[in-house]
């Protein structure tokens, strides 16, 4: 597998996934030196036009989108009969793996992941793309926690006028919508339903619907109600559970009508806001503050009278008792307030001054003088200068008790825009991001129009609104250089040539034995070879050696004490500070600490030997050694 190179550029390294129509590999982009994900259409499906069209549909959908929560498309092509897509490689795990490993996902984490999925879907929907296969297996979470939506293999372009038979019921049965289950058409609300199922699974650690076969599961999507989330996960707030269930409504019209709407209400539910529910299609209890009271109940008590067996019903009207209690409570509170004012005088009240338009320092001083407690919150305002009060919760002239807290909203000035970073050096762009509170993520790639470490693009673009998650992607040029042709050059000359081109040389040099003494110590070939690559790309050397001409020395190694096995690596500094690997072995704790090893090189002389233990970046010790 490691020998296969697609389009003279992508070297397939290892298989990392397989689906119904494609195999996914981690690959090395020989031009940039970066890892990428290559998706190959399975050979047995290369002549099946349904799958070819589906593969092309994924490429078409991915090409319309560039978003930090979507696995971005880098290249599309064919190599012989092999159709392939090149995507960004996301090191990490699928959301399904995280659920399987952890069971329930903490509510705040589940909400954060869901909002990022919705952000990706909103971008897709804005571009006319319906995913139709949202499931945890298609959600990638990288090592830094960034969420990426993948696999638009069965996506549909919203303005497509025709549907094939295979287009009608698609997606994974545990996650697809009722309309997919019944063979009806799909729209963006079908993706909303699937997001609801994914959120349900994260919050509870289990699927809302499961069964012995696909038909049974599809039937449940159409007719069954899942176990309430709060029964399976009491730590989830009722409002968050409600948002999930609205998303999973059977009728598309009862769901959220956009990913943005669901994300907005999910944030409000997380904050515990009573203004969260814009609509309430479910036959469940609402969470608005004003509807918390349940419908009054009547209890019936029966008793037997005498020997006639007659019963009479005594009805206890709980409404009457509740109303009476409320009236008595109001009278009591009113009396207490009146008495406290009569006995304590009017010294416990104060008239609220006008704070709007004043600086926080000035308002705070006035509030302190009048024994008013103030709470400061901040908000952007395009018209009010920074540090000036925009609004107050208690209006001017209102009389309040001294222990009443007045909330003052202080302007943060106009909301900042994303700075223009294109053309800056990477370090300067990072500093600028930090100044405005953005977290930069760097993607490097060759760009012949920009020098090394120069930002050639950014997402979001300069001048746009600040992203909600505070993330910005910087596309940085690696610079471009050409791998020199060093075939048959002496090794030292080849290394000098390669370094002069702005490239690095891999210290683990591979040897090819030969009987031709004229080739001893010369370059056989390099990988990559004689192509344009990014600056600082690592070049591997393969050289000719004649075994009888190699130089050797037996050297004593002093190993440190250890409780377990250690790995020892020995290098020689052969060329201008460059280390060449000459020994690599493992030693167990019970082996002698003094070991004799035989070192070999194709040239002789006195060199600095460095000994490394267990891959530590700093050597354990150094000594001089002579090979002859």
- pLDDT one-digit tens code per residue, 439-471: 899 998 888 889 889 999 999 999 888 887 888
Structure tokens at 49: 């036009």
State the fold for domain 92-282: Transferase(Phosphotransferase); domain 1 (1.10.510)
259-271 vs 238-247: helix crossing angle, rounded to 10: 170
What residues pair up with 580 in beta bridges, in sequence order?
Answer: 572
Catalytic site residue from 29, 79, 108, 133: 133
DSSP 39-99: EEE-GGGTT-HHHHHHHHHHHHHHHT---TTB--EEEEEEETTEEEEEEE---EEEHHHHH
Query: What is the dotted CATH code of the domain comprising 481-548?
Result: 3.30.10.20
426-478 maps to which CATH number? 3.30.10.20
Going from N- to C-terminal start, the domains of the chain cover 1-89, 92-282, 426-478, 481-548, 550-627
Q: Please tell me the predicted confidence (pLDDT) of residue 160.
A: 38
Is 550-627 assigned to CATH 1.10.3470? no
Position 330 scores a pLDDT of: 53
Return the half-sphere exposure (C-beta side, CA atoms, 13 A cut-off) of residue 589.
Answer: 3
pLDDT at 2 over 70: no
- What does the pLDDT read at residue 304? 37
508 among known catalytic residues: no
Specify the pLDDT at position 293: 38
- Percent of the chain residues past pLDDT 90, beyond the cut: 44
Let me know if the fold of 92-282 is the same as that of 426-478: no
Q: Judge if pTM exceeds 0.95.
A: no
Mean confidence (pLDDT) of the chain: 82
Where is pLDDT greater, at 59 or 486? 486
Whole-angstrom Cα distance, residue 253 to residue 489? Answer: 72
Q: What pLDDT sits at residue 167?
A: 38
Which pLDDT band, with edges at 50, 70 and 90, does 347 fall under? low
- Residue 99's pLDDT is what? 94
What's the CATH class of domain 1-89? alpha beta
Whether the per-residue pLDDT at 540 is higher than 70: the answer is yes
Q: Is the pLDDT of residue 19 over 80?
A: no
């Amino acid at each position: 597998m490691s020998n296969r190179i697609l389009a003279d550029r992508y070297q397939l390294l290892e298989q990392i996934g397989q689906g119904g129509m494609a195999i996914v590999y981690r690959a090395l982009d020989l031009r940039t030196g970066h890892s990428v994900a290559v998706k190959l259409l399975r050979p047995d499906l290369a002549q099946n036009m349904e799958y070819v069209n589906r593969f092309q549909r994924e490429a078409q959908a991915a090409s319309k989108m560039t978003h930090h929560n979507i696995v971005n498309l880098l290249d599309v092509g064919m190599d012989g009969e092999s159709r392939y897509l090149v995507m960004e490689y996301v090191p990490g795990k699928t959301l399904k793996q995280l659920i399987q490993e952890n069971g329930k996902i903490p509510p705040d984490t589940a909400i954060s992941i869901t909002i990022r999925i919705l952000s990706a879907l909103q971008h897709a929907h804005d571009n006319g793309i319906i995913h139709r296969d949202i499931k945890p297996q298609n959600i990638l979470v990288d090592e830094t926690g960034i969420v990426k939506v993948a696999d638009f293999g069965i996506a549909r372009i919203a303005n497509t006028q025709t549907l094939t038979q295979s287009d009608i019921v698609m997606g994974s049965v545990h996650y697809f919508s009722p309309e997919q289950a019944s063979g009806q058409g799909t729209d963006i609300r079908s993706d909303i339903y699937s997001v609801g199922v994914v959120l349900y699974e994260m919050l509870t650690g289990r699927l809302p619907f499961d069964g012995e076969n696909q038909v049974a599961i599809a039937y449940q999507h159409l007719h069954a109600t899942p176990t309430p989330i709060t029964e399976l996960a009491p730590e989830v707030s009722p409002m968050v559970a409600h948002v999930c269930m609205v998303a999973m409504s059977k009728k598309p019209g009862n769901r959220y009508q956009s990913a943005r709407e669901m994300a907005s209400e999910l944030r409000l539910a997380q904050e515990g806001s009573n203004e969260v529910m814009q609509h309430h299609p479910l036959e469940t209890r609402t969470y608005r503050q004003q509807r918390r009271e349940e419908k009054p109940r009547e209890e019936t008590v029966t008793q037997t009278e005498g020997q006639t067996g007659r019963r009479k019903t005594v009805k206890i009207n709980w409404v009457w008792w509740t109303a009476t209690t409320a009236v008595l409570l109001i009278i009591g509170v009113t009396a207490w307030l009146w008495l406290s004012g009569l006995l304590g005088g009017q010294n416990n009240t104060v008239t609220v001054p006008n704070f709007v338009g004043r600086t926080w320092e000035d308002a705070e001083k006035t509030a302190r003088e009048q024994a008013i407690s103030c709470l400061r919150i901040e908000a952007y305002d395009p018209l009010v200068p920074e540090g000036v009060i925009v609004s107050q919760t208690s209006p001017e002239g209102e009389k309040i008790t001294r222990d009443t807290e007045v909330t003052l909203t202080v302007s943060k000035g106009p909301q900042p825009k994303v700075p223009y970073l294109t053309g800056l050096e990477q370090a300067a762009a990072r500093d600028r991001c930090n100044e405005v509170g953005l977290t930069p993520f760097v993607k490097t790639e060759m760009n012949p129009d920009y020098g090394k470490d120069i930002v050639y693009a950014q997402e979001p673009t300069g001048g746009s609104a600040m992203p909600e998650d505070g993330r910005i992607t910087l596309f940085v040029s690696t610079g471009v250089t050409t791998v020199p042709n060093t075939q048959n050059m002496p090794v030292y000359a080849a290394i000098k040539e390669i370094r002069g081109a702005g490239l690095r040389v891999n210290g683990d040099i591979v040897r090819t034995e030969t009987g031709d003494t004229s080739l001893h110590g010369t370059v056989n070939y390099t990988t990559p070879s004689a192509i344009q690559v990014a600056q600082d790309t690592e070049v591997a050397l393969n050289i000719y050696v004649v075994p009888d001409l190699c130089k050797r020395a037996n050297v004593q190694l002093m190993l440190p004490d250890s409780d377990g096995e250690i790995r020892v690596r020995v290098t020689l500094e052969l060329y201008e500070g460059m280390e060449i690997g000459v020994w690599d072995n493992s030693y167990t704790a019970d082996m002698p600490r003094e070991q004799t090893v035989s070192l070999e090189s194709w040239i002789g002389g006195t060199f600095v030997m460095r000994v490394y233990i267990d891959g530590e970046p700093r050597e354990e010790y150094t000594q001089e050694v002579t090979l002859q």
